[in-house]
Amino acid sequence: MNVVMQGISKAFGPVRVLEEVDFAIAGGEIHALMGENGAGKSTLMKILSGVYRSDGGSIRIDGQPVEIRSTRQAEACGIAIIHQELNLIPQLSVMENLFLGREPSRFGVIDSARMRREAAAQLAALGASAIDPEAEAGSLSIGQQQMVEIAKALAMDARLLIMDEPTAALTEREIDTLFGLMQALKARGVAIVYVSHRMEEIFRICDKISVLRDGRFVGERVIARTDFDEVVRMMVGREIGDRFPRRTAAPGAVRLQVTGLADAQHVRDISFEVRAGEVLGVAGLMGAGRSEILKTLFGLNRRSAGTVLLDGQQVALDSPGAAIAAGLAFVTEDRKSQGLVLGMSVRENATLVHLPQYARLGVVSDAAEQQAVAGLIEQLRIRTRDAELEVKSLSGGNQQKVVFAKWLAQPPKVLLLDEPTRGVDVGGKAEIYHIINQLAAAGVAIVMVSSELPEVMAMSNRILVIHEGRQTGLFEAASATQESIMAAATGTAHAA
């Protein structure tokens, strides 16, 4: 199936989101759609899948002009979208989800036997026969849920699959499985639009790449004939310098010393130290217990064993309040559900942690608060027209900077970072790396969990590797290789 979108425009009120954008994909092709947050990728894909209607332009499928006015029509044309936030109903079974809205029935009574049979067949066709059609969808891993969504799309005879950040929540192994499946679908002539920020993956799996910037089409490239730098240039429209800016200051004295840390169930026997001005990267597979180490340090998970010394003093970090008072800060993994109060303004979010600092007898001084927020916006280069805007109106990168601002209102001694650049575009990433470097230069000890190996390797001084709740390696970043880290992360190497 060949799909050609031509001259697509779309505006929301006065805001022009897409201007005369072209996009073309052929059957048997995996085509990456890239662009910074706000470039218009999602809008373009929502037009193709019938969620929005375009204001101008045309869509042709196999040369025939089509009008896609609803998701139903898109499905009828063979177009299906798999959203980043998966859309399964967790309380229903896998097969009930697969057949939702088109249950095989007789006189209104569902034919469960047939449903089970067909669901099993469809899952088997994807090499996912391990998934029980009668299991509750919510009990599956994220990777398995994604398989079910793909099966659902294919069951509806989809010839064009749109995948929005499909690997964001997957483990390495699940990503391999997904990529294998994508190759198989490609061989069957299915066209796949792949929306992602992860450059390594795009170069690994895609055939072509189209780039959008500020709602305009910048260009299309064949993956084999382009490179990282060109794609980044196309996306940001300027040189962003080093992808990972260098840090020059040498680490100082030991700030954080963790010995024999364990929580009730996820992690055991974790020991490391971090110096002032040092970044300790924490690598490992999804679910290995990396985030749990941070949560235990921050007093969110109960610590069952181990001691924590901060600047040589033992500290009892048994609640977030105690951790904050001791000088810890924690940029959490999921900024929407854990980092920000989305309905509050930039100002209110930025001062949430250290609000009492701007208050006397519990009464907040507007002037002191506003001044501090203005300083943070300036320092972190948060791009917002007004500190009073709701934080949810900001781009992902700027939202993440607000999360940083929240913690930097008072300089922390130790900064815990969990996936600090997830869902942040290339330009935003570079700025966040820059902030991390500035903080390190100011003597903050930083512990950074990240699933992006290039990021861990470039930003860390040393790298701690976790496998199934235990540490299996501690490398100097300068001498570590992707292979040695992955070996430790998968438990195939002995502790270094």
The binding site for another protein (CB under 8 A) comprises 298, 300, 320-321, 323-324, 330, 332, 337-344, 348, 352-353, 355-356, 359, 362-364, 386, 388, 406
Whole-number Å distance between alpha carbons of 361 and 86 = 46
Residue with tokens 């749109």: 162
Residue with tokens 């929540």: 169
* Smallest distance from another protein to CB 343, Å: 5
- Of the pair 176, 388, the CB lying nearest another protein is at 388
* Smallest distance from another protein to CB 107, Å: 38
* Smallest distance from another protein to CB 335, Å: 9
* Smallest distance from another protein to CB 406, Å: 6
Is the Cβ–Cβ distance between 463 and 485 less than 8 Å? yes
Angle of CA points 275, 277, 283, to nearest 5°: 70
* Smallest distance from another protein to CB 292, Å: 14
SS3 8: strand
- Of the pair 180, 411, the CB lying nearest another protein is at 411
- Of the pair 313, 337, the CB lying nearest another protein is at 337
* Smallest distance from another protein to CB 294, Å: 11
- Of the pair 255, 406, the CB lying nearest another protein is at 406
- Of the pair 221, 295, the CB lying nearest another protein is at 295
- Of the pair 52, 330, the CB lying nearest another protein is at 330
- Of the pair 353, 459, the CB lying nearest another protein is at 353
Whole-number Å distance between alpha carbons of 381 and 476 = 32
Is the Cβ–Cβ distance between 436 and 252 less than 8 Å? no
Token reading at 384: 């917002």
Contacts of 206 (CB under 8 A, 6+ apart): 30, 31, 32, 194, 223
Q: How buried is residue 486: exposed, middle or buried, by Cβ count under 10 Å (0-12/13-18/19+)?
A: middle
- Of the pair 146, 332, the CB lying nearest another protein is at 332
* Smallest distance from another protein to CB 71, Å: 19
Q: Which amino acid is at 406?
A: K
Whole-number Å distance between alpha carbons of 361 and 3 = 64
Range 351-355 contact pairs with CB under 8 angstroms and sequence separation of 24 or more: 351/406, 351/409, 352/406, 353/324, 353/329, 353/406, 353/407, 353/409, 353/410, 354/409, 354/410
* Smallest distance from another protein to CB 412, Å: 12
SS3 334: coil
SS3 170: coil
Whole-number Å distance between alpha carbons of 283 and 278 = 16
